[in-house]
């Protein structure tokens, strides 16, 4: 089975295709940091950015299922798409990918961003980042399988900024943030903890260092 691995830096999503990002239960969103300066964003801005980045990723994969590419926003107000392909193929799809992105962001919070499509520089990828990416992917795949019976589960994101900043965010369809929402979120958090400490993930060190966030339908943390 092919896996879509999403690498996020500041906000960078790299798709390597074939999990559908927004359709449960087959999505994995993993995140690691690279050398580029992150764009400082509020929680609400992050939600809007990720929503648009995810939608662009999905739209591109609908047409180019095997394409390896990344999407991110920069402090220069750019919506950047970096494609990992040879020059000839890159030139053949560049304008179409640019058009897809423009159609998505024109009615989004990123409507004022300039779309830039370029070939990807993967020189920042090291053995350490590959190991981190594998760990995040293993965690995400195991959680995805373990949570598939929860009706409110929609998708998940695993993120690694550094050893002290690691998180697992579970997006749900839970409505509101009251007592009942909190109770259900805590049940899901307990299930997540059980999965994290299962034998399937016994090779992952410092598993307890991951912060677990259960998000309601509006993206608010409710656990």
Q: Long-range pairs for 20-23 at CB < 8 Å and ≥24 separation?
A: 20/58, 20/61, 21/54, 21/57, 21/58, 21/61, 21/155, 22/54, 22/55, 22/58, 22/154, 22/155
pLDDT tens digit sequence for 90-107: 999 999 999 999 999 998
Instruction: Delimit the domains of the chain by residue range.
Output: 12-119, 127-152+169-215
- Would you state the structure tokens that stand for residue 151, as one six-digit string? 């009706």
- Greatest distance between any 2 Cα atoms in the chain: 56
pLDDT tens digit sequence for 151-182: 888 777 787 777 778 888 888 889 989 999 99
Give the list of residues 6+ apart from residue 146 with CB closer than 8 angstroms, or none. 191, 192, 194, 195, 198
Distances 35 to 63, 91, 97, 130, 185 between C-alpha atoms, Å = 30, 26, 25, 14, 34
pTM recorded for the entire structure: 0.55
Indicate the pLDDT class of residue 23, thresholds 50, 70 and 90: very low
Output the CATH code of domain 12-119.
3.30.300
């Amino acid at each position: 089975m092919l896996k879509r691995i999403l690498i996020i830096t500041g906000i960078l999503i790299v798709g390597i295709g074939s999990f559908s990002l927004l359709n449960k239960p087959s999505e994995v969103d993993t995140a690691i940091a690279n050398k580029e300066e992150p764009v400082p964003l509020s929680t609400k801005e992050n939600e809007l950015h990720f929503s648009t980045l995810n939608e662009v990723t999905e739209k591109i994969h609908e047409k180019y299922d095997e394409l390896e590419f990344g999407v991110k926003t920069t402090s220069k107000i750019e919506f950047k798409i970096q494609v990992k392909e040879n020059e000839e193929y890159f030139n053949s799809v560049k304008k179409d990918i640019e058009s897809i992105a423009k159609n998505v962001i024109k009615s989004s919070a990123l409507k004022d961003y300039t779309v830039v499509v370029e070939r990807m520089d993967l020189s920042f990828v090291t053995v350490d980042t590959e190991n981190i990416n594998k760990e995040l992917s293993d965690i995400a795949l195991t959680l995805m399988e373990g949570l598939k019976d929860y009706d409110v589960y929609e998708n998940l994101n695993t993120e690694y900024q550094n050893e002290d900043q690691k998180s697992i965010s579970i997006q749900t369809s839970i409505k509101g943030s009251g007592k009942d929402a909190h109770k259900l979120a805590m049940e899901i958090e307990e299930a997540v903890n059980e999965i994290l400490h299962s034998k399937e993930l016994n090779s992952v060190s410092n598993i307890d260092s991951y912060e677990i966030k259960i998000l309601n339908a509006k993206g608010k943390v409710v656990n």
